[in-house]
Structure 1
Amino acid sequence: MRSEPSVSIIVPTLNEEKYIRQAIGSLIPVEGLDYELIVLDGGSTDRTASIVEELASSNASIRLERNPARYQSAAVNLGAKVAKPQSAIIVRADSHAEYPPGFVAGLVGELNQQKVASVVVPMRTRGKGFLQRGIAAAQNSRLGNGGAAHRTATSSRYVDHGHHAAFDRSAFLAVGGYDESFTHNEDAELDLRLRRSGARIWLCSELAISYFPRNSFGALARQYFNHGSGRAKTMLKHRRPPKLRQILPVGALGLNALSLASGIVVSPLFLLPGLAYVGACMTGGLFLAVSERDPAGCVAGPAAMIMHHSWAAGFIYRVLRSTASKAWPAPASIEAVR
């Protein structure tokens, strides 16, 4: 009789034809676990769905489902509901990543051994081309990640938040899963509710994954704008102040904007604080290039500046939008007045 629990691996995806085959291949357990792998596609317009169907034709444990809501939060919620009834554990996996050997089995073991509701893992960013390697260098360093636990952890421990990997299915459903109004930062918001319910979160440092970052500055800026907006939304929903490392980008944006405006209107001397910030980031990138022996590290300086300012802009946008909606509530409809 099989003693291992059944596992449902849930993979949200959208236009990931470059990465989906590799991601699925690295996720399939080889340890004899009872598993299913569900790809939730949000309406891909490339070959993502056809690649998954091809893989499913040779592996009955793989299946493709549609995610009409498109977002990751909705995909994982749907996957947790449509997973086979005997699945006690759900694994959330990204199609934009690569997983170490024994990843799923390791998560199952950690979840059972630690008796927790969730296991999270470190995320090491890895690039392929020159620009992507530079962006990866920024995201892997304190210059870009500010010391986030799931970016810097070297030992396993209980944490408040981390990169989501596995859940006790009943605990996940008991708190309502992800808040589907969140397009970003849904993981941190869920972790808050899990901890408030009395559940614990375990960071397993041995199961670090490789994540492939955006490969253009424009895509990076959009991603971090959304991250900042999502973090502000979590803060406003739960009325929790941001951590220092999360508020520093807002300070950097304010400092640089004031420095630039004052330098233009008042005196060029006021440009010095902004130039000092730019110099510090560029020096940090140069240090990464030398320490990692990769010239692409020089890109980490500009990448970090884009990450800082985009995150801050998204954060401020969400706060101002929330403030405006409270100050100017939507007018009642004619039908409601009647």
Structure 2
Amino acid sequence: MPASTVSFVSIVMPALNEERYIADAIASILPSTSAFDYELLVMDGGSTDGTGRIVREIAAQNPRVKLIRNPRRTQSAAMNIAAEICDPRTTVLLRADCHALYPRRFVENCVETLAATQSASVVVSMRAIGRTPVQSAIAAAQNSRVGNGGSRHRRASESGYVEHGHHAAFDRPMFRALGGYDESAPFNEDAEFDARLIQAGGRIYLDGRSTIDYYPRASFVSLAKQYYRHGWGRANTLAKHGMRPKLRQVLPVAVLLASLLGLAAWPFIGPIALLPPAAYLSICVAWSAVLAARAGQPALLLAGPAAITMHMSWAVGFLSRFLDLGSARQLRVRNEEA
């Protein structure tokens, strides 16, 4: 995509009950350049808080900001609807999150990188931050290798071509040609899209200049739900495309299964059976204690429980989807044999 063809950018921000974050997110992402025109489409999935009012107030000051109803509610649907109804001049779609703060010239950098690298997609790294002690502990877990397993886009990374990252900019014609996000799979839509993009010969470029600040879930309950969905979605994507899981994706499942086997064996072989779960818990607790001591922040003692919540919820979600797919496959075989 030559830079000269980038004349209009549609920034798409899926939203659902984001009154605490959306004003700051919009303020941080709005471009200041005159090199291209833009619109910001807030795709509201049915908010019942003050999200709509806040967006309408911003739109009254900046008519490029538009509040649009997303009747299908999901983030995947938000992007797909926006790709169809956006300004016809749009050559670049840019996905934005309400739970994020964007660095200066974020949109401009993404557009320039998309053109300079002739890529179909530009992705970025993300750094979790917190407003409360619990959210800060969860952020510390997500920023660490203990929590993220070394995922490249979860840490500051050098620029280069990758297989996956935190979605930012898309070549709109390519996004539409691939059918956009798969709305039949409610989770992990970004990695699933990346798999199809690479299979189609497209390239994904990680722009190391454009790390965003991301606000994670602020409670352990919401964190557990989120990571259950992450695990479910990853299993679904791997099965759909016949992909092998990476080591960091296998480890949480292995720890969960080893812990369950240990608990089951305890009545028969005694306390030795509890060594696997005890070792895992000790590592997470010791890591969070060191983290809290180094930072001088006692609240970071909760980073260990946050990491455990992330790992175990992800593993349960992964196994749940894996077992569902196995059961469905067996049912199909029986029906074919009948």
TM over 0.5: yes
Is the CA contact (8 Å cut-off) linking 1:134 and 1:298 kept in structure 2?
A: yes
Partners of 1:96 and 1:289 in 2: CA distance: 25
TM-score (norm 1): 0.95
Q: How big is the alpha-carbon RMSD for the aligned residues of Structure 1 and Structure 2?
A: 1.7
1:62 aligns with 2:65: yes
SS class of match (1:77) = helix
Partners of 1:31 and 1:293 in 2: CA distance: 41
Shift, 1:19, TM fit: 0.3
Tell which deviates more after alignment, 168-177 or 157-166.
Answer: 168-177
Q: How does 1:141-290 map to 2 (within 5 A)?
A: 141-290=144-293
Query: In the TM superposition, what whole-angstrom CA distance separates every residue of 1:195-225 from its partner, at most 9, and x where no partner exists?
Result: 1111110001110001101111110000000
Gaps of 5+ in 2: none
Partners of 1:3 and 1:270 in 2: CA distance: 64
- Percent identical pairs in the alignment equals 50
1:85 maps to what in 2?
Answer: 88
1:109 maps to what in 2?
Answer: 112
1:28 maps to what in 2?
Answer: 30
Partners of 1:313 and 1:175 in 2: CA distance: 31
Partners of 2:5 and 2:173 in 1: CA distance: 19
SS class of match (1:205) = coil
1:335 maps to what in 2?
Answer: none
CA 1:315–1:112 in structure 2 vs 1: closer, same or farther (change >3 Å)?
same
SS class of match (1:280) = helix
* Residues paired across the two proteins, number: 331
Is the CA contact (8 Å cut-off) linking 1:179 and 1:186 kept in structure 2?
A: yes
Is the CA contact (8 Å cut-off) linking 1:4 and 1:34 kept in structure 2?
A: no
Gaps of 5+ in 1: 333-338
Partners of 2:90 and 2:147 in 1: CA distance: 37
Q: Give the one of 32, 51, 55 matched to 2:54.
A: 51
Partners of 1:92 and 1:312 in 2: CA distance: 28
Query: In the TM superposition, what whole-angstrom CA distance separates every residue of 1:46-76 from its partner, at most 9, and x where no partner exists?
Result: 1111111111111110101111111101100
Partners of 1:3 and 1:324 in 2: CA distance: 49
Code of the aligned partner of 1:21: A
Is the CA contact (8 Å cut-off) linking 1:27 and 1:103 kept in structure 2?
A: yes
Q: Give the one of 58, 71, 75 matched to 2:74.
A: 71
Query: In the TM superposition, what whole-angstrom CA distance separates every residue of 1:243-263 from its partner, at most 9, and x where no partner exists?
Result: 111011000100111122222
Tell which deviates more after alignment, 241-250 or 147-156.
Answer: 147-156
SS class of match (1:64) = strand
Shift, 1:331, TM fit: 11
